[in-house]
Structure 1
Amino acid sequence: MKRRTHPQDFIALLAGIYAFLSPIWTTTTNKATTTMIVLGVLTAVIAVLELARADLLPAEGATALLGVLFFISPWVMSFSGTHPMAWTAWIVGVITFLVGAADLQITRSHQRTATTA
């Protein structure tokens, strides 16, 4: 399977960029802004690494982990009361987790197929 057939990495990159830029147009607090910028940049960097190196297997797990961090961040960082930014974190978190989990599954399936062939 060619790496270009993995749209998940592009989706993770877009989610990271969206999270990074979301404080511009979303009602926010200092904690929420910092959290979204840091997690957004980390997500985008991991997605770029995954796009550049197809064999970087732990990156998919890291993408899924970042999705979990996005999702729990409104409670952990105490900005769940800032509903626009909390919803942004929850939605980006779910998308990032699903993308990371799907990419991990595809990569592992491809590796199993390659080793048995």
Structure 2
Amino acid sequence: MRSWSRIQDVAAVVLGVYAALSPIWLDTNNAARWSLIVLGVLVALAGVAHMYRPELSYAEYGMAVLGVLMFIAPWAMNFHAMSGAAWTAWVVGVLTVVVAVTGLPVTNSLAHRQGGMAAHH
């Protein structure tokens, strides 16, 4: 069963693409630019992977981890003073975690029904 229309998957791809492209219009340094690009691409890929294989619960967990990494990136990579890049990372990070968490019940249900690996029984 493919889930091309699930709003969580589409939202993840949009959030990832937005973050990855944001250095085009934001004032960034090297750390901010590459943090947003790499984490954005990974979030978008997790969304695409989940569209293709909706029963893979680890894609949702991975997306949640990427959201947390996106949120802490401004402090970890020292670009918290760059308000545009920092706020983009914070907002996209929180929204990515929300998208991943809201998708978990559906993912676990699909995995359980199809005999796949469900994270929790």
Give TM-score, length-normalised by structure 1: 0.89
Shift of 1:21: 0.2
| Match runs of 1:22-33 below 5 Å | 22-33=22-33
Map of 1:72 onto structure 2: 72
Map of 1:44 onto structure 2: 44
- Which structure shows the higher helix fraction? 1
Shift of 1:110: 4.9
**Does residue 1:86 correspond to 2:101, yes or no?**
no
8 Å CA contact 2:64, 2:100 repeated in 1: yes
Q: Percent identity?
A: 45
Map of 2:119 onto structure 1: none
Cα distance in structure 1, aligned partners of 2:8 and 2:33: 25
Cα distance in structure 2, aligned partners of 1:17 and 1:60: 17
Deviations 1:33-80 (A, max 9, x none): 010000011111111111111221100001111110010000000000
Corresponding letter in the other structure for 1:100: A
Shift of 1:106: 2.5
Map of 1:15 onto structure 2: 15
Map of 2:118 onto structure 1: none
How many residue pairs get matched?
A: 114
- After superposing on structure 2, the runs of 4+ consecutive aligned residues of structure 1 that deviate more than 4 Å are 109-112
Q: CA RMSD in A?
A: 1.7
Shift of 1:105: 2.5
Cα distance in structure 1, aligned partners of 2:84 and 2:111: 40
Structure 1: gaps of 5 or more residues: none
Cα distance in structure 1, aligned partners of 2:24 and 2:60: 28
| Match runs of 1:85-104 below 5 Å | 85-104=85-104
